[in-house]
Amino acid sequence: LKKVSFKFDPYELVGLDRPGSGEREARQDIADFILEEVLNSVGAGKSPVSGGQWKRTLSPEYKKKKAAISSALFANMELQGDMLDALECVLTKDGMLELRIAGDQAPKADGHNNHSGKSSLPAREFIPKADQTFKRDILAGVKSIALEHFEKSGKEKP
Amino acid sequence: VAKRNPRAQLDKELAKGRKQLDFTKSELDDLGFMIVEKMKELISRGISPITGKRFPAYKDAKRYPAKQKPARPVNLWLSGDFLDSLVARVKGTRKPTITIGFDSQESNRKESGHREGANGQLERPIIPEGSETFSKGVLVEIQKFLARKFDRKKR
């Protein structure tokens, strides 16, 4: 597995047209916001995915191992931090955004997101599957950033 | 019957709009408090309130933090004094402004160290400077706060 990802059109996600000029800047702002909000949810031990599952408790053995490194004794997806360091939200050439973990951290990410359907680990979903989306408060933030760019671009606000 | 003066009407509407945009000291205190809380929330989870990205890991966790604290999350917390001294102050009466900073010289010194990467540490500033601003997550929270207040005043 080389990548666990969610590719999406941020405007379609919140029911808006694309802003005119400055669309790329708007998309970059939304990408930064999505990454921050996903990291924030995960750090709190909550799924940023709408209806997403999240087993917050750890097994006693893992909790013991984690206590030697971390002050967060619940599931926040961070032991050494390599997997979350690999999480990114990037602009794609076809005008979309992609939230993803690629490369050698991808199998770990699939372990909890189970995009492959083959994982037996407890579900802790932080990258939506194709038929999922983000939680309502994240979508509201995306919408407000997009609307702000509508105003800047001079295109009539929807 | 008095004639309607469109200019006076417009001035009145503009004045009303300006008044709706004015916030009281107490409302700005609330906003400042909200910003500091949001910053602390992000920092506690290892996220920079300036970039919205993860703070870089400790270079050599065996040297620092060693046994002083767990190496994860990288949350700038040791004794708690640094983040406890992060506050918002509203200054001025005619045009009040919010200042986010520290109420301790020691914390100002630590922040300079985080910004400059003193003693070989990686840079982890938390107060925006120069062309920097807050992360998108903090800005969206500010926008939501202002929109709520504005809606309430419009009613």
Q: pLDDT tens for residues B39-58?
A: 999 999 999 999 999 999 99
Closest C-alpha to B49, from B34, B59, B61, B60: B34
- Cβ neighbors of B9 (< 8 A, separation 6 or more) are none
- Cβ neighbors of B125 (< 8 A, separation 6 or more) are B48, B50, B111, B114, B115
Q: Of all helices (H) and strands (E), which one includes residue B148?
A: helix B136-154
Confidence of residue A104 (pLDDT cuts 50, 70, 90): very high
The DSSP code sequence of chain A is --EEEEEE-HHHHTT-PPPSTTHHHHHHHHHHHHHHHHHHHHHTT---BTT--B-----HHHHHHHHTTBS--S--S-SSSHHHHTEEEEE-TTS-EEEEEEGGGHHHHHHHH-SSS---SPPB--S--TT--B-HHHHHHHHHHHHHHHHHHTPPP-
- Inspect the interface and report whether the beta carbons of B140 and A144 lie closer than 8 Å: yes
For residue A71, the chain B residues in CB contact (below 8 A) are 69-70, 72-73, 75
For residue B46, the chain A residues in CB contact (below 8 A) are 39, 43, 78, 81
pLDDT of residue A1: 87
Q: Is the pLDDT of residue A49 over 70?
A: yes
Q: At what angle do helices B136-154 and B25-44 cross, to 10 degrees?
A: 150
For residue B144, the chain A residues in CB contact (below 8 A) are 140, 144
Contact A30, A97 (CB under 8 A): yes
Interface of B with A (CB under 8 A): 41-42, 44-47, 52-54, 57, 69-75, 135-137, 140, 143-144
Average pLDDT value over all residues in chain A: 95
Interface of A with B (CB under 8 A): 29, 32-33, 35-37, 39-40, 43-44, 67-72, 76, 78-81, 84-85, 140-141, 144-145, 148
Chain A's closest residue to B55, CA to CA, is: A85
Q: Is the ipTM of this complex over 0.85?
A: yes
Q: Of all helices (H) and strands (E), which one includes residue B89?
A: strand B86-91
Q: Is the pLDDT of residue A143 over 70?
A: yes
For residue A69, the chain B residues in CB contact (below 8 A) are 70-72
Q: How many residues does chain A have?
A: 158
pLDDT of residue B7: 66
Average pLDDT over residues A141-147: 95
Rounded to the nearest angstrom, the minimum Cα separation between A63 and chain B is 14
Supply A50's token pair: 């709408």
pLDDT of residue A5: 98
Chain A's closest residue to B137, CA to CA, is: A33
pTM assigned to the model? 0.91
**pLDDT tens digits, one per residue of B71-117:** 999 999 999 999 999 999 999 877 889 999 999 999 999 999 999 99
- Inspect the interface and report whether the beta carbons of B144 and A80 lie closer than 8 Å: no
Rounded to the nearest angstrom, the minimum Cα separation between B126 and chain A is 15
The shortest CB-CB distance from B137 to any of A36, A81, A148 is to A36
Confidence of residue B152 (pLDDT cuts 50, 70, 90): confident
- Inspect the interface and report whether the beta carbons of B140 and A71 lie closer than 8 Å: no
- Inspect the interface and report whether the beta carbons of A40 and B69 lie closer than 8 Å: no
pLDDT of residue A17: 87
Rounded to the nearest angstrom, the minimum Cα separation between A144 and chain B is 7
